[in-house]
Amino acid sequence: MCGIGGLISKDSTNVIPLTKSMMISMNKRGPDGTGLLIDNRVYQYDTPEKILCNGSDTNTKLALGHIRLAIVGERNYIQPFKSCDGRLVMEHNGEIYNYKMLREKLKKEHKFISNTDSEVIIHLLEHYYKETGFSDLLKAIRKTVADLDGIYALAIKDQKEDKIYLVRDRLGIRQIYYGQNDKVIGFASERKGLWQIGIKEPTISLLPGHCVILSDKISTPIKISEPPINYSNEPTFSNLEDAILSYKTALYNSIKKRSQDLSRIGIIFSGGIDSVLIAKITKELVPNVTCYTSGIAGSDDIKFSKVIADELDLDLKINELDVKDIENMLPNILNIIETNNSTQAEVSIPIFGALKLAAKDGLRVVFTGQGADELFGGYSWYVKIFSKYGYKKLKEYMIQDLLLLYKETLEREDKISMANSIEMREPFLDSEVVKTATSINMNLNIVNNNDSFGKRVHRELAIRVGIPKYIAYREKQAAQHGAGIHGILTKIAEKNGFNKKMVTKEYIADIAKREKLGSSERYGYLFDDKISWNSATWVQLYLDKLTTNRNQIACEIKR
């Protein structure tokens, strides 16, 4: 895991100091070294602050920067990586789970300088680029990503061209943003890297499974891969036993590949069935597993987490928060997640609190249960959609939610984890898990109009692996509700003088223009209790006031 960024000058602007500023603004993403490509040479530094901006490089018009959080391989090898012939340069943010297999295939014809997972990508690219006679880099990229089992945001450059190819994985589990101003075109792992050098909103999040080419202009995004989803309404698995067994195989393989070579892993733990199932299986595969829970003292998540940890003999650490804690952390959280959307802020608080504990323990990798609700039908409004429209329409809603996870959940949680120099991994979003889950007959997960649980295949697997039924069938609570956070922001806003009287018609009209993030905001409230999901308008007004620079808030206006 890491932070990546780069710039192309539109005029004579020297991009080295700007690239340095970008890297410094994201330095929590890479405490283990810095790399910089300048004039076809790669330079290494201990930290981005040590990048040299003087000397013979005053006219540098293109640069790639990398800051590394070392998970796989030695710590002394810093990206960007070069191909054997020196023609291609690449930097990678993410993890490649089949890198050992790919390395075995490539090592006879390619010289490896590290044992990192990232380096296999550049040699794979070189292999396929050579096949095209070095004439079609986009074709080589398509073939390369088809071979990768993992998550990635890539920046790729042919040294004979002043172009940078940006690539994002099929579900968008790792993000990359790009934008421009009058002087430069740039990209970065976080928007704040672009804001830092004067590239203001709108900045663009590269779509999952797409490539965009930066040169003296920005190309239209090009689709290069499809999500691992079975869109068919003819299910592969209509028998409960077959569905459970296939899902079990896929999920165990997912956790095995994400825990390979690791002896310590943390779990973001709420006491809900998703994180419990991940914790139970991970404990079978990894020697040292610790669960981390955060919320208001006495909240349901904290109470249930204690009971479940005792029942399953899980190591549990709890960060109990009060109103003052939350008020103090809010400005920092808004800066980290790069949006002041009230729902996004609420959900971020317990995750941030849990990750602070994991960081104190020196953990580098944590698992999360994200994706299970979208795959198996866990949200309360799903059964209501089924009751009104039937299974076919429900599957359409669930796939839509899955495809929007990249900007509604994954980007937020990547930023929170990396702000603590921790990599978050999502076992439920493994390609084979997604393929399997979307191939299961919908009526195996939501069995009738009154099914208040959903996720039946998911819950039944939990029972099969030794989780008691009362835990497996605990009803779903959203993170902000289970952690006791929903409503706390209202108290904080009112404490700071914000109330209903301050909300004008103009402000309500402004809020209506903003992008809805999360299925509860987008449509869930239409099928569920609106009051329980939507924050008070004066809470949003308070969050707006906390954000001092309006250019540094993304995703506000529908685009």
Residues 95, 41 within the same domain = yes
What distance in Å separates the CA atoms of residue 350 and residue 416, rounded to the nearest whole number? Answer: 11
Q: Tell me what the mean pLDDT of segment 468-497 comes to.
A: 87
- Counting the structural domains of the chain, the total is 2
The model's pLDDT over 69-90, given as tens digits with 9 standing for 90+, comes to: 877 655 567 899 999 999 999 9
Within 10 Å of residue 469's Cβ, how many Cβ atoms?
11
Q: What is the pLDDT, as a whole number, of residue 189? A: 98
Least confident of 235-249, 422-436, 440-454, 526-540: 526-540
**Residues near 489 by Cβ (< 8 Å), separated by ≥ 6?**
326, 330, 342, 345, 346, 535, 539, 542, 543
CA atoms within 13 A on the CB side of 153: 26
Q: What is the pLDDT, as a whole number, of residue 526? A: 85
542 domain residue, yes or no? no
Cis amide bond preceding 48, omega within 30: no
81 domain residue, yes or no? yes
Contact assessment for residue 457 and residue 441, using Cβ atoms and an 8 Å cutoff: no
Residues 209, 305 within the same domain = no
Residues 327, 199 within the same domain = no
558 domain residue, yes or no? no
The answer, yes or no, to whether residue 558 has pLDDT greater than 70, is no
Q: Tell me what the mean pLDDT of segment 273-299 comes to.
A: 96
Residues 198, 262 within the same domain = no
The model's pLDDT over 305-348, given as tens digits with 9 standing for 90+, comes to: 999 999 999 999 999 999 999 999 999 999 999 999 999 999 99
What distance in Å separates the CA atoms of residue 431 and residue 279, rounded to the nearest whole number? Answer: 20
The model's pLDDT over 422-445, given as tens digits with 9 standing for 90+, comes to: 999 999 999 999 999 999 999 999
CATH number at residue 134: 3.60.20.10
Residues 278, 158 within the same domain = no
Residues 247, 180 within the same domain = no
| Sheet containing 41-45, strands listed edge to edge, beginning at the edge strand earlier in sequence | 41-45, 34-38, 62-68, 2-9, 184-188, 177-180, 204-205
Residues 298, 395 within the same domain = yes
Within 10 Å of residue 399's Cβ, how many Cβ atoms?
17
Sequence-ordered alpha helix ranges (H) in 339-425: 342-360, 372-376, 380-389, 391-403, 405, 411-418
443 domain residue, yes or no? yes
The answer to pTM > 0.85 is: yes
The answer, yes or no, to whether residue 557 has pLDDT greater than 50, is no
Q: Domain boundary at 449, 478, 507, which? A: 478
The model's pLDDT over 258-278, given as tens digits with 9 standing for 90+, comes to: 999 999 999 999 999 999 999
* Structure tokens, 438: 């979307």
Contact assessment for residue 208 and residue 471, using Cβ atoms and an 8 Å cutoff: no
Q: Domain boundary at 223, 257, 286, which? A: 223
CATH number at residue 272: 3.40.50.620
Q: What is the pLDDT, as a whole number, of residue 530? A: 59
Residues 386, 315 within the same domain = yes
Q: Tell me what the mean pLDDT of segment 536-554 comes to.
A: 78
Residues 213, 293 within the same domain = no
530 domain residue, yes or no? no
Residues 176, 317 within the same domain = no
More confident residue, 215 or 57: 215
Residues 304, 387 within the same domain = yes
Q: Which candidate, 517, 333, 529, places its Cα nearest to that of 420?
A: 333
285 domain residue, yes or no? yes
535 domain residue, yes or no? no
| End-to-end Cα, the chain, rounded Å | 29
Q: Which candidate, 524, 529, 467, places its Cα nearest to that of 272?
A: 467
Q: What is the mean pLDDT of the chain?
A: 93
Least confident of 55-59, 110-114, 434-438: 55-59
Residues 253, 335 within the same domain = yes
The model's pLDDT over 187-217, given as tens digits with 9 standing for 90+, comes to: 999 999 999 999 999 999 999 999 999 999 9
Query: Residue 283: which domain range?
Result: 240-478
The answer, yes or no, to whether residue 124 has pLDDT greater than 80, is yes
Q: What is the pLDDT, as a whole number, of residue 483? A: 80
| Helices and strands, number each (H, E), in the chain | 25, 18
Q: What one-letter code names the amino acid at 539?
A: V
Q: Tell me what the mean pLDDT of segment 141-162 comes to.
A: 97
What distance in Å separates the CA atoms of residue 179 and residue 197, rounded to the nearest whole number? Answer: 11
What distance in Å separates the CA atoms of residue 130 and residue 126, rounded to the nearest whole number? Answer: 6
What distance in Å separates the CA atoms of residue 462 and residue 474, rounded to the nearest whole number? Answer: 12
* Structure tokens, 63: 């640069």
341 domain residue, yes or no? yes
CA dihedral 282, 284, 285, 291 (to 10 degrees): 30
The model's pLDDT over 485-503, given as tens digits with 9 standing for 90+, comes to: 988 999 999 999 999 999 9
**Predicted confidence band of residue 556 (pLDDT cuts 50, 70, 90):** very low
Q: What is the pLDDT, as a whole number, of residue 56? A: 46
Q: Domain boundary at 223, 248, 274, which? A: 223
